[in-house]
Structure 1
Amino acid sequence: MKNRVISVDIFRGLTIVLMILVNTPGTWSHVYAPLLHAHWHGYTPTDLVFPFFLFIVGTSIAFAYQHKTASGATYRKIIVRSLKLVGLGLFLGAFTITFPFIKDFADIRFPGVLQRIGVVFFFAALLFMNFNWKSLIGICVAFLVGYWLLMAYVPVEGVASTFDRAPNNLANYLDVKIFGTHNYKPDYDPEGLLSTLPSIATSLLGIFTGLILTSKRERKEMVLMGMGAAMLVLGYLWDMVFPINKALWSSSFVLVTAGWANMFLALIYYLSDVRGIAFGGIFKKVGANAITIYFLSSFTGKVMGRIPVGDTSLHGWLFQKVYVHDFMSMELSSLLYGLTVVSFYVLLAHVLYKKKIFIKV
């Protein structure tokens, strides 16, 4: 991006750091509540992390494609990048450490985090290249309202649809029907098919923020703060009829998480870009290789969780031998393990940045 906005780089890197932290506790049996996803309806700080990343994907699209022409070359780059992201996600879902290093077909998960990033990037970038901001607002509203109407009023095999985790939840029903055994859980997938529509809206809201940051407006941080507050209010009002829910990526969830994203980004923007306070440099370095760092952390975590050591795995053995002690709680031990993992990847990002190695996916 030309004329980089430092806060966007910091926000992206911070989000990746948090993604790694919440994905790699020492043990899932002992995790502090804020570092877990909400059981179903509602949200925790952890539930903000993934939508923050999709939001910043949209913001980055506004920077990267604002002055590009809608040409075949540009479309090819968008398609190739999207396919790379989807391919990496499918690889993570299919990989196993035993020969031939691919799970049985029935056990491979088709949806996933990287797959959703790839699909959302593809559609958000294409929409941005072909519509002005006023049209994009209309498309975003159509996605959010349309998703709500589908989830609330389309019956499932003659039974009224529900927002609960049940067979007559339309999003869950479609995932089971279409993906079968290839879901995260037998009855649903948090990165499922129908919920991709509102996740694209998350990225579109990030695009609007990017357009503000690239404009000549005064007091941009105040504009973003006001937008964020308005989205929070609208999201909580919508929660009364369409509950805030990450697994469903509900329309209220989109607004609430985008509201928080705007407010946090406004604060970072004010401190780093307006006041010129030097902070968050390490997060900027992580953000420079965001997808690479995330992929490596996910891949390594899978490998360590599957290498057997005695009656546990390499991951479990390291956790028990190094982090579990009588003088601290298991939750603290689990957190310290996660922080160690984060520290390793932050160090790796620092080395890559110093050597000017930027792996673009």
Structure 2
Amino acid sequence: MNDRIESVDILRGFTILAMILVNTPGTWSHIYTPLRHAEWHGLTPTDLIFPFFLFIVGISIYFSYKNKPNTLSTYKKIIIRSLKLIGLGLFLNLFLPYFPFFNDFETLRVPGVLQRIGIVFLFSSLLYLNCNWRSLIVIGVIIIIGYWLCLGYIPFPDGSPPTFNRGSNNWANYIDLNVLGKHMWKIDYDPEGLISTIPSIATCISGILIGKLLEGLTHIKHIFLVALGFLISGYILNIWFPINKAIWSSSFVLATSGWATLVLGVIYYLKDFKKQKFGTVFKYVGMNAITIYFLSSFISKSMYLIRINENSNIHSYIYETIFVQSFLPEKLSSMLYALTVVFFYLGLGYVLYKKKIFIKV
């Protein structure tokens, strides 16, 4: 791999480890604020993680398919990979919560992180194969503006005006509630819902365009100027369409793409311009990102399911026995547990990398 791709692998690995960090606290009751999602409107470091990954998916699409023929075989591979991602996500939602009986489908959550990655990968790849970069920009802008106008100005069937607030008076939540019903993460919304998946495709398109920029980059300042453009646009649009991960608002697309471009620019500068040995440890995870994310989710959920006695499962037993100490604040204990999990998967990534095991989903 050349250094440019290596920079992307570093960011991908860092993003997956950050995702594991925020998903595996010792206890959900004691978490530092930056490791929580915003309650509704707003942006925390945790809110950056998923859009960063979709942004990286876009960059990977550019480098993976820039020389691929626009053939039925290519489309078949894209569709199969998308179905694998969706299937893995559904497996996590179906198998673990209902093991071993598989008889409670009434409240099965249909959306999920891997499902969204699969859908976004499918549509973004097809767009990339059939559109030039100017068309991709136009499509991205149409999604961003169209989503804003639809959610902000189309009245509901009863004539009431829409809002961006949590509840059924929000178009994204309204459609999810009426289509998915009880098959959502929360009773009134799902952060990986149907309608909010559309603007997440725009996030991926921004990654495709940055991939093109990286390939022809003549000066490092260009990537930082693009990052600044994204950020300014996102925070200006925030005035009318608040930054919100749960509904993946248009301002959220722009702001998070700006932060992702900025962070990637820093990594690219250190790796390609300064030739520093920076971030290699994250590359180990980045080379098997989906595999490690899936394993972390599977193992974490399994540890909650397997009980040791009436009062504890494997997760709570390990946390309370090893990490909860009277001299430590509970938030720190909770984070130390999460960091231990992160180092475990970092080690796993290292072993897979050294053994040249790269599992493509």
Kindly indicate whether the alpha-carbon contact (under 8 Å) linking 1:116 and 1:191 is maintained by their aligned counterparts in 2: yes
Specify whether residues 234 and 88 from structure 1 end up closer, same or farther in structure 2 by C-alpha distance, changes over 3 A only: same
| Residues 20-29 or 272-281, more deviating | 272-281
Please show how residues 78-89 of structure 1 align to structure 2 within 5 Å.
Answer: 78-89=78-89
Q: Provide, for residues 314-342 of structure 1, a one-character-per-residue CA deviation record: whole Å limited to 9, x for no partner.
A: 11111111000111100000000000001
Q: Which residue of 2 aligns with 1:165?
A: 166
| Residues 270-279 or 305-314, more deviating | 305-314
One-letter amino acid of the counterpart of residue 255, structure 2: V
Q: Which residue of 1 aligns with 2:136?
A: 136
One-letter amino acid of the counterpart of residue 178, structure 2: K
Deviation at 1:160, TM superposition (A): 1.1
Kindly indicate whether the alpha-carbon contact (under 8 Å) linking 2:10 and 2:279 is maintained by their aligned counterparts in 1: yes
Q: Which residue of 2 aligns with 1:121?
A: 121
Q: Which residue of 2 aligns with 1:5?
A: 5
Deviation at 1:101, TM superposition (A): 5.0
Q: Which residue of 2 aligns with 1:339?
A: 339
- TM-score norm. by structure 1 comes to 0.97
For 2:163, what is the secondary structure of its paired residue? Answer: coil
Q: Which residue of 2 aligns with 1:204?
A: 205
Using the alignment, how far apart are the partners of 2:283 and 2:294 within structure 1? Answer: 17
Q: Provide, for residues 26-79 of structure 1, a one-character-per-residue CA deviation record: whole Å limited to 9, x for no partner.
A: 001000000000000001000000000000000111111111111011101100
Q: Which residue of 1 aligns with 2:287?
A: 288
Structure 1: 5+ residue runs without aligned partners? none
Specify whether residues 304 and 144 from structure 1 end up closer, same or farther in structure 2 by C-alpha distance, changes over 3 A only: same
Using the alignment, how far apart are the partners of 1:242 and 1:99 within structure 2? Answer: 41
Using the alignment, how far apart are the partners of 2:281 and 2:214 within structure 1? Answer: 22
For 2:242, what is the secondary structure of its paired residue? Answer: coil
Deviation at 1:100, TM superposition (A): 3.2
Q: Which residue of 1 aligns with 2:248?
A: 249
User: Identity of aligned pairs, percent?
Assistant: 56
For 1:309, what is the secondary structure of its paired residue? Answer: coil
Kindly indicate whether the alpha-carbon contact (under 8 Å) linking 2:3 and 2:272 is maintained by their aligned counterparts in 1: no
Please show how residues 197-236 of structure 1 align to structure 2 within 5 Å.
Answer: 197-215=198-216, 217-219=217-219, 221-236=220-235
Q: Which residue of 2 aligns with 1:359?
A: 359
Kindly indicate whether the alpha-carbon contact (under 8 Å) linking 2:21 and 2:338 is maintained by their aligned counterparts in 1: yes
For 2:52, what is the secondary structure of its paired residue? Answer: helix
Using the alignment, how far apart are the partners of 1:200 and 1:103 within structure 2? Answer: 34
Deviation at 1:242, TM superposition (A): 0.2
One-letter amino acid of the counterpart of residue 211, structure 2: G
Specify whether residues 29 and 149 from structure 1 end up closer, same or farther in structure 2 by C-alpha distance, changes over 3 A only: same
Please show how residues 301-316 of structure 1 align to structure 2 within 5 Å.
Answer: 301-310=300-309, 311-316=311-316
- TM-score norm. by structure 2 comes to 0.97
Q: Which residue of 1 aligns with 2:146?
A: 146
Deviation at 1:98, TM superposition (A): 6.1
Q: Provide, for residues 270-291 of structure 1, a one-character-per-residue CA deviation record: whole Å limited to 9, x for no partner.
A: 0012211012111111000000
Using the alignment, how far apart are the partners of 2:57 and 2:270 within structure 1? Answer: 21
Length, aligned pairs only: 359
Q: Which residue of 2 aligns with 1:61?
A: 61
Does residue 349 (structure 1) correspond to residue 324 (structure 2)? The answer is no
Kindly indicate whether the alpha-carbon contact (under 8 Å) linking 1:6 and 1:273 is maintained by their aligned counterparts in 2: no
Q: Which residue of 1 aligns with 2:188?
A: 187
Structure 2: 5+ residue runs without aligned partners? none
Deviation at 1:96, TM superposition (A): 2.6
| Residues 346-355 or 273-282, more deviating | 273-282
